[in-house]
């Protein structure tokens, strides 16, 4: 049963049900699942607005599940009138656009008020199908979990939920000037933890947090590491070729930030660290480029030009290059071109970007938070930094400046490390979780009616 175990408190906990030959009786996998992604469409460009790692996660997981004969229908909120109600994303993966609130200009914080309308749309789609059409509901993020809770109960099927991020964890590690998550979200997440048949955590630490902060039943938590598209994110023809294509100087030191621009992701730490490096070695100014690839999001939308102003204030505007979000293929090019990816996040459930960069052959300097210690092998594929002191980040970056061959050496180790994070592994482990949830759900129903 591959990764169907939850690791809690550092020890491996066997699932509550385990049979030598799989599950007794009808231990089938689901034929078709309803996947819920209320606030972010799998068709959106990651790195813009609320679209990020979760979009990539849902798209890749759905495609790989379809490849192992589990059909996936993804319900998401319609955020444009330009797309038809249903879009075939790939064979076996259908995206259903649900009308809930205005298409444009609705912030994530305003979405709870649209959950009734969204649930209505999901129920309408289901009502048009034959009985037993969906075998299971898999919801992503708490907004979807609220809808999933209701749908799963109404359809008499199990609910599998992935938090992606948690309010209590975020609030325990807020960036300065960032807004805490509202109480309504904390209550919503607590309800979903109780209602779910299975919870999928990205890492053992996230599994711990579900138990510690939300009193989740340890036996219902399964750890499944997200994957990375290893065909797309690979070293390809190397750093020099990628730099030539992006118009970047061949011999420059290039520490890259890629992601949503908001306090939580802490791109300002990279800028401050770059200023420290230039202070220590002014000659670096002619051979350092700091690309920031991404768009403002979340609480960063209030001051979209804040980072540009910071670069000017630090006197490094000449070395920083701001670039709008790019598609996945282009993102892989940026990773290949960079000397190192810098991820100073305050909270990160997994840090998919770190795996993608490593798969492209680029080392990572990251904050030692959330899932990043799983994503990055400290001292092998990059460096983990405790805390958010720009001086500490500058120290780690200086090692690459002082020893240029470290980029190639750690980059090769990074590419090797990332190989164990393929999506096929993640999809197979997820299908095991579905099978267990269905088996237990049936057993539970039988015991109540027996």
Residue showing tokens 């300002």: 268
Mean pLDDT (the chain) is: 88
Lowest mean pLDDT among 6-20, 75-89, 416-430: 6-20
Q: Is the pLDDT of residue 7 over 50?
A: no
**Averaged pLDDT for residues 398-412:** 97
Condensed to tens digits (0 to 9), the pLDDT of residues 342-380 reads: 999 988 877 889 999 999 999 999 999 988 998 999 999
For the chain, what is the domain count? 2
CA angle 388, 360, 247 (to 5 degrees): 90
C-alpha 274/C-alpha 400 separation (Å) is 13
More confident residue, 82 or 230: 230
Q: Are 170 and 189 in contact (CB under 8 A)?
A: no
In a domain, 5, yes or no: no
Q: Are residues 101 and 192 in the same domain?
A: yes
In this structure, what CATH number is given to the domain that contains residue 344? 3.40.50.2000
In a domain, 24, yes or no: no
Annotated binding-site ranges for UDP-N-acetyl-alpha-D-glucosamine: 45-46, 53, 260, 265, 326, 348, 356
Cβ neighbors of 293 (< 8 A, separation 6 or more) are 47, 256, 257, 258, 259, 323, 324, 325, 326, 331, 334
Q: Is the pLDDT of residue 15 over 50?
A: no
Q: Are residues 254 and 203 in the same domain?
A: no
Phi-psi category of residue 331: left, alpha or beta, with phi > 0 → left and psi -120 to 50 → alpha: alpha
In a domain, 13, yes or no: no
Within 10 angstroms of residue 246's Cβ, the number of other Cβ atoms is 17
Annotated binding-site ranges for 1D-myo-inositol 3-phosphate: 39, 50-55, 108, 141, 165, 185
Find, among 137, 25, 7, the residue nearest to 75 by Cα. 137
- What local confidence, expressed as pLDDT, does residue 403 receive? 96
More confident residue, 104 or 356: 356
How would you label 184-219 residue by residue, b for 16+ Cβ within 10 Å and e otherwise?
ebbebbbebbebbbbbbbbbbbbbbbbbebbebeee
More confident residue, 155 or 42: 155
Q: Which domain holds residue 64?
A: 32-227+423-448
Q: Are residues 281 and 159 in the same domain?
A: no
- What local confidence, expressed as pLDDT, does residue 80 receive? 82
Condensed to tens digits (0 to 9), the pLDDT of residues 150-167 reads: 999 999 999 999 998 899
Annotated binding-site ranges for Mg(2+): 335-336, 338, 362
Q: Are residues 220 and 276 in the same domain?
A: no
Cβ neighbors of 316 (< 8 A, separation 6 or more) are 271, 274, 275, 278, 290
C-alpha 137/C-alpha 145 separation (Å) is 9
Backbone φ, ψ for residue 94 (5° rounding) = -115, 135
Q: Are residues 173 and 287 in the same domain?
A: no
C-alpha 426/C-alpha 74 separation (Å) is 18
Annotated binding-site ranges: 39, 45-46, 50-55, 108, 141, 165, 185, 260, 265, 326, 335-336, 338, 348, 356, 362
Q: Are residues 385 and 427 in the same domain?
A: no
How would you label 295-314 residue by residue, b for 16+ Cβ within 10 Å and e otherwise?
bbbbebeeeeebbeebbeeb
In a domain, 134, yes or no: yes
Q: Are residues 245 and 117 in the same domain?
A: no
Q: Are residues 204 and 341 in the same domain?
A: no
Condensed to tens digits (0 to 9), the pLDDT of residues 119-129 reads: 999 999 999 99
Q: Which two tokens stand for residue 40?
A: 């972010």
- What local confidence, expressed as pLDDT, does residue 3 receive? 37
């Amino acid at each position: 049963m591959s990764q169907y175990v939850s690791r809690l408190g550092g020890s491996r906990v066997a699932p509550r049900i385990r049979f030598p030959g799989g599950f007794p009786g009808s231990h089938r996998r689901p034929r078709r699942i309803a996947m819920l992604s209320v606030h972010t469409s799998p068709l959106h460009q990651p790195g813009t607005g609320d679209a990020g790692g979760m979009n990539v996660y849902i798209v890749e997981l759905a495609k790989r599940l379809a490849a192992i004969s589990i059909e996936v229908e993804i319900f998401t909120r319609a955020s444009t009138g330009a797309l038809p109600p249903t879009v075939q994303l790939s064979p076996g993966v259908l995206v259903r656009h649900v009308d809930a609130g205005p298409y444009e200009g609705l912030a994530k914080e305003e979405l709870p008020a649209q959950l009734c309308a969204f649930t209505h749309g999901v129920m309408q789609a289901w009502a048009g199908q034959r009985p037993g059409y969906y075998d299971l509901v898999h919801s992503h993020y708490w907004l979807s979990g609220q809808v999933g809770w209701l749908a799963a109960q109404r359809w008499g099927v199990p609910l599998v939920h992935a938090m992606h991020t948690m309010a209590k964890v975020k609030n325990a590690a807020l960036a300065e000037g960032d807004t805490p998550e509202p109480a309504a979200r904390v209550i919503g997440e607590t309800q979903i933890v109780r209602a779910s048949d299975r919870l999928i955590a990205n890492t053992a630490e996230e599994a711990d947090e579900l138990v510690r902060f939300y009193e989740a039943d340890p036996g219902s938590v399964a750890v499944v590491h997200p994957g990375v598209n290893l065909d797309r994110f690979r070293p390809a023809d190397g750093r020099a070729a990628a730099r030539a294509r992006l118009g970047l100087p061949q011999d420059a030191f290039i520490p890259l930030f890629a992601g949503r621009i908001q306090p939580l992701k802490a791109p300002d730490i990279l800028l401050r660290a770059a200023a420290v490096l230039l202070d220590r070695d002014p000659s670096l100014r002619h051979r350092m480029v700091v690309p920031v690839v991404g768009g403002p999001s979340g609480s960063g939308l209030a001051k979209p030009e804040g980072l540009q102003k910071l670069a000017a204030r630090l006197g490094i505007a000449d070395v920083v290059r701001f670039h709008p979000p790019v598609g996945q293929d282009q993102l892989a090019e940026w990773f290949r071109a960079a000397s190192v990816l810098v991820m100073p996040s305050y909270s990160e459930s997994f840090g998919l970007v770190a795996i993608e960069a490593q798969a492209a052959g680029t080392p990572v300097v990251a904050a030692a938070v959330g899932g990043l210690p799983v994503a990055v092998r400290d001292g092998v594929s990059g460096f983990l930094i405790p805390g958010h002191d720009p001086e500490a980040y500058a120290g780690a970056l200086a090692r690459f400046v002082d020893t240029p061959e470290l980029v190639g050496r750690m980059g090769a180790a990074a590419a090797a490390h990332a190989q164990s994070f393929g999506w096929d592994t993640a999809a197979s482990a997820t299908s095991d979780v579905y099978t267990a949830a269905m088996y237990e759900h049936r057993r539970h129903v039988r015991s109540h009616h027996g």
